[in-house]
Structure 1
Amino acid sequence: MNIMNATQQDTPDKGKLQINITSEITAYPVADATVSISYTGVPDSQLEKLSTDSSGQTETIELSAPPLEYSLNVENEIQPYSEYTLQVEAPGYEPLSIAGAEILSSVTAIQNITLRPLDTTDPSEEIFVIPAHTLYGSYPAKIPEDEIKPMNETGEIVLSRVVVPEYIVVHDGSPRDSTARNYYVKYKDYIKNVASSEIYATWPADTIRANVLAIMSFTLNRVFTEWYRNQGYEFTITSSTAFDHKWIPERNIFNTISVIVDELFADYLSRPNVKQPILTQYCDGRQVQCPNWMTQWGSKSLGDQGYSPIEILRYFYGDNMYINTAEAISGIPSSWPGYNLENGSSGSKVRQLQEQINVIATAYPAIPKLNVDGIYGPATAEAVRKFQSVFGLPSTGVADYKTWYKISEIYVGVSRIAELT
């Protein structure tokens, strides 16, 4: 009991946790899964037992967290998040355990989990242990590289335009570690994971935007230059901080980061007359200093002072840094119309939206099915509002940029058998 009391005394604040569970094979939600939550240090101390609804979701609960100022103060050396262990079970699926899920004060942690169908010949529990956050733990500093890569030395074909990939292949280790596993990860999920691993979700929104832009530009540089494939590797990027970014299998993300990635995911950083996205390197600015690169704590300070994302980025990378938008997005049925769809809208884009929502509603019965008539009326607005509430977007009933691409992403997931598994 002493450990629990100590844990509670260190955690006077509250953070929130919401869990979403889908099938690895079908991408459909898993209903009636149970999630037991305990302190990571005290595995027998069950605090909550939750179950998932027809959308594969638990209710959002409050959990104890350290004081908010711990994650806002560069001088603080006390761990600013509490750690919980999640035990997940569902009929017909392998059980799964995640130790070290992070709860920060005042923000919502989102734990997305995919479960594997039960293998009756070899049933085994998957166990994931989430390592320390990069701002709190000790990780190797980034090995400096040129921010613009030579593109014409080998005569190899490289991409001719910047395209946001649907998936990237993440090597969970340093490049030459042949024992490390490769993971196929949706691009947006990768960015959300890295940002949640490398900055605190309690920071100012424009600080988060600046850091997300740097993470995305760096990643798209790896994609565009085919950096690792041109060295004979079978992956896009690594999870080693010495080479790339920290990406952690099955870690939770945060709502404040997720909504910003959904808003910015097609953007990257450019210099004049340079076709490739810039390899925007950075460091924490407390344990490690890095002249001419962004420091994460420095970006936090500038965000506190009201700097915009581009002002933060130019402060560190120079005045000739610009935000650009990719020419194409992979893996979507069609691109956003360029304006919001809302009550009174009509036409082929509305019809397409209605058709996609109906496919999604087959998997997510909480979302109402629609009469496909190409007219955006109250029923379509209500279905969009319900979709938004299920998938963590502001429930406006308006199909804006974020919503259009989230509908596309979920539609693609549930309408095809995931060929990558």
Structure 2
Amino acid sequence: MNTTSSNPAGDTPDLGQLQVYLTSAANGYPIAGASVRVSYTGVPDSTFLELSTDASGQTETIELAAPPLEYSLTPDTEEQPYSEYTLQIEAPGYEPVTIAGTEILPDVKALQNTVLKPLGPAGSSEEVFVIPAHTLYGSYPAKIPEEEIKPTDETGEIVLSRVVVPEYIVVHDGSPRDSTAQNYYVKYKDYIKNVASSEIYATWPADTIRANVLSIMSFTLNRVYTEWYRNLGYDFTITSSTAFDHKWIPERNIYADISVIVDELFSNYLSRPGVRQPILTQYCDGRQVQCSGWMTQWGSKALGDQGYSPIQILRYYYGDDLYINTAESISGIPSSWPGSNLEVGSRGSKVRQMQEELNTIAGAYPALPKIDADGIFGPTTRKAVRDFQSVFGLPATGIVDYPTWYKISEIYVGVSRIAELS
């Protein structure tokens, strides 16, 4: 099968990658045997490839035409730096979904992670999602400036006693006062990955991506910590309006490079000395909009090109007294990080717990092996960890590091539903 498409514009293209991953809204299990038809967005009846999902709910990774890499690396070009494809997804027993505008950048892997709803009693009802332009390419309202540190001593104001990474947040898909906008219940890490994929390009330097991810997380955790919108009488955590918060887009694809970085950093936020709350780190693009005293995204890209580290990029814009902090608590996990990597030779209760969680996951993902939960990390456990990492987009080292521990916890909670029972 030829899995490389030609560019409908006729240019000699660069290539990006796409993989689709489907799970069930009913139980978090992967959906095998689903059909994914790929076509050019805006070209009716142009299906050129049909994929199917395996036992892990994943399609093969395919190559697709994308514009030249330099389009996403310079603020000066007017050319769209990504190509757009439409995905028509169907699976027996589930509502069909069409996603128009999956964005393919060159040299990076796009991940289309979609949760399908079981068919209702009325039968099939297709959902269609149209993905709007990336914020660095399209036109969106500029951020309305706010104080970066919120007053939290007013009578009756709800404020958390400590910084907690939530398992879920409620995203209002519109401006705060738009009562017609829908609220979405979104996993915190999935929200951060979505926003970062919507607001920066995954082709940028890794440390630029890290700096921007830290800014997005700190801003979001400030909204969580201060209960900002609930104190204004709303029933959500944050909005998808760029004038007030960040751009979050239902069913948009994310990028593998961004996903790995968020998994690495998700418990971090930005602090100033003597201030308990995460800093509301506001930014702008630096091309269409300028913002004195804030980070600019294109500026952060230029600093990353010069070899600046994430904290150097952030301090360049926000001042030398900014530092990276770690949340005291992470919600929705069975047990916290052991404090050091688990690898061949490790023993004890944390190894046994990890093995038991992998076995529960293997019950939902038949491509993953079951192992003896004996508390001893041997070659069989290393292989099971490596297989898990391969399925869930982590570096396949066979070592349970910080991101892998929490990814195992996340998938375990999803397939065992212990969060609903606790």
Fold shared, TM-score > 0.5 on shorter chain: yes
Question: Are positions 1:192 and 2:196 aligned together?
Answer: no
CA separation of 1:52 and 1:417: change in aligned 2, threshold 3 A? farther
State the alpha-carbon separation in 1 of the partners of residues 158 and 91 from structure 2: 46
Amino acid at match of 2:37: S
Equivalent residue number for residue 247 of structure 2: 246
State the alpha-carbon separation in 2 of the partners of residues 316 and 417 from structure 1: 42
CA separation of 1:195 and 1:11: change in aligned 2, threshold 3 A? farther
- Contact 2:413-2:419 within 8 A present in 1 as well: no
* Mapping for residues 358-377 of structure 1, pairs under 5 Å: 358-377=359-378
Equivalent residue number for residue 226 of structure 2: 225
Question: Are positions 1:292 and 2:293 aligned together?
Answer: yes
Question: Are positions 1:61 and 2:25 aligned together?
Answer: no
State the alpha-carbon separation in 2 of the partners of residues 44 and 72 from structure 1: 33
CA separation of 1:418 and 1:249: change in aligned 2, threshold 3 A? farther
- Contact 1:332-1:409 within 8 A present in 2 as well: yes
CA drift of 1:418 comes to: 7.5
Equivalent residue number for residue 150 of structure 2: 149
Question: Are positions 1:235 and 2:233 aligned together?
Answer: no
- Contact 1:27-1:418 within 8 A present in 2 as well: no
Equivalent residue number for residue 386 of structure 2: 385
State the alpha-carbon separation in 2 of the partners of residues 85 and 273 from structure 1: 49
Number of residue pairs matched by the alignment: 417
- Contact 2:158-2:227 within 8 A present in 1 as well: no
SS of the residue corresponding to residue 384 of structure 1 reads helix
State the alpha-carbon separation in 2 of the partners of residues 308 and 11 from structure 1: 35
State the alpha-carbon separation in 2 of the partners of residues 407 and 175 from structure 1: 35
State the alpha-carbon separation in 2 of the partners of residues 402 and 279 from structure 1: 25
Amino acid at match of 1:239: S
SS of the residue corresponding to residue 188 of structure 1 reads helix
- Contact 1:71-1:202 within 8 A present in 2 as well: yes
State the 4+ residue runs in structure 1 displaced beyond 3 angstroms.
Answer: 417-420
Equivalent residue number for residue 354 of structure 2: 353
List alignment gaps of at least 5 residues for structure 1.
none
Amino acid at match of 2:196: A
What TM-score results when the alignment is normalised by the length of structure 1? 0.97
Equivalent residue number for residue 34 of structure 1: 35
Deviations 1:377-413 (A, max 9, x none): 0111000000000000000110000000000000000
SS of the residue corresponding to residue 94 of structure 1 reads coil
CA separation of 1:127 and 1:386: change in aligned 2, threshold 3 A? same
CA separation of 1:397 and 1:6: change in aligned 2, threshold 3 A? closer
- Contact 2:344-2:382 within 8 A present in 1 as well: yes
State the alpha-carbon separation in 2 of the partners of residues 411 and 156 from structure 1: 36
CA separation of 1:170 and 1:33: change in aligned 2, threshold 3 A? same
Question: Are positions 1:89 and 2:110 aligned together?
Answer: no
- Contact 2:7-2:13 within 8 A present in 1 as well: no
State the alpha-carbon separation in 2 of the partners of residues 6 and 406 from structure 1: 36
Equivalent residue number for residue 44 of structure 1: 45
Moved more, 4-13 or 339-348: 4-13
* Mapping for residues 171-320 of structure 1, pairs under 5 Å: 171-320=172-321
Equivalent residue number for residue 329 of structure 1: 330
Question: Are positions 1:23 and 2:24 aligned together?
Answer: yes
Equivalent residue number for residue 79 of structure 2: 78
State the alpha-carbon separation in 2 of the partners of residues 404 and 8 from structure 1: 44
- Contact 1:43-1:85 within 8 A present in 2 as well: no
List alignment gaps of at least 5 residues for structure 2.
none
State the alpha-carbon separation in 2 of the partners of residues 212 and 10 from structure 1: 33
Amino acid at match of 2:411: I
- Contact 2:7-2:66 within 8 A present in 1 as well: no
State the alpha-carbon separation in 1 of the partners of residues 404 and 6 from structure 2: 43
Amino acid at match of 2:389: Q
- Identity %, equivalent residues: 78
- Contact 1:8-1:64 within 8 A present in 2 as well: no
State the alpha-carbon separation in 2 of the partners of residues 36 and 300 from structure 1: 35
Deviations 1:135-162 (A, max 9, x none): 0000000000000000011333411110
CA drift of 1:10 comes to: 3.7
Equivalent residue number for residue 115 of structure 2: 114
State the alpha-carbon separation in 1 of the partners of residues 12 and 269 from structure 2: 38
Deviations 1:279-320 (A, max 9, x none): 000000000000000000000000000000000000000111
Amino acid at match of 1:48: L
CA separation of 1:18 and 1:320: change in aligned 2, threshold 3 A? same
CA drift of 1:41 comes to: 1.6
Question: Are positions 1:105 and 2:106 aligned together?
Answer: yes
CA drift of 1:267 comes to: 0.2
CA separation of 1:11 and 1:408: change in aligned 2, threshold 3 A? farther
- Contact 1:25-1:417 within 8 A present in 2 as well: no
CA drift of 1:417 comes to: 7.4
CA drift of 1:43 comes to: 3.0
CA separation of 1:11 and 1:164: change in aligned 2, threshold 3 A? farther
SS of the residue corresponding to residue 86 of structure 1 reads strand
Question: Are positions 1:411 and 2:403 aligned together?
Answer: no
State the alpha-carbon separation in 2 of the partners of residues 295 and 346 from structure 1: 47
CA drift of 1:46 comes to: 1.1
CA drift of 1:122 comes to: 4.3
- Contact 2:52-2:59 within 8 A present in 1 as well: yes
- Contact 2:208-2:301 within 8 A present in 1 as well: yes
Amino acid at match of 2:181: A
State the alpha-carbon separation in 1 of the partners of residues 367 and 79 from structure 2: 42
State the alpha-carbon separation in 1 of the partners of residues 395 and 6 from structure 2: 37
Deviations 1:203-261 (A, max 9, x none): 00000000000000000000000000011100000000000000000000001100000
Equivalent residue number for residue 123 of structure 1: 124
State the alpha-carbon separation in 1 of the partners of residues 46 and 149 from structure 2: 51
State the alpha-carbon separation in 2 of the partners of residues 217 and 33 from structure 1: 37
SS of the residue corresponding to residue 46 of structure 1 reads coil
CA separation of 1:80 and 1:225: change in aligned 2, threshold 3 A? same
Amino acid at match of 1:206: D
State the alpha-carbon separation in 1 of the partners of residues 12 and 293 from structure 2: 37
CA drift of 1:119 comes to: 1.7
- Contact 1:74-1:286 within 8 A present in 2 as well: yes
CA drift of 1:9 comes to: 2.3
For the aligned residue pairs, the C-alpha RMSD in angstroms reads 1.3
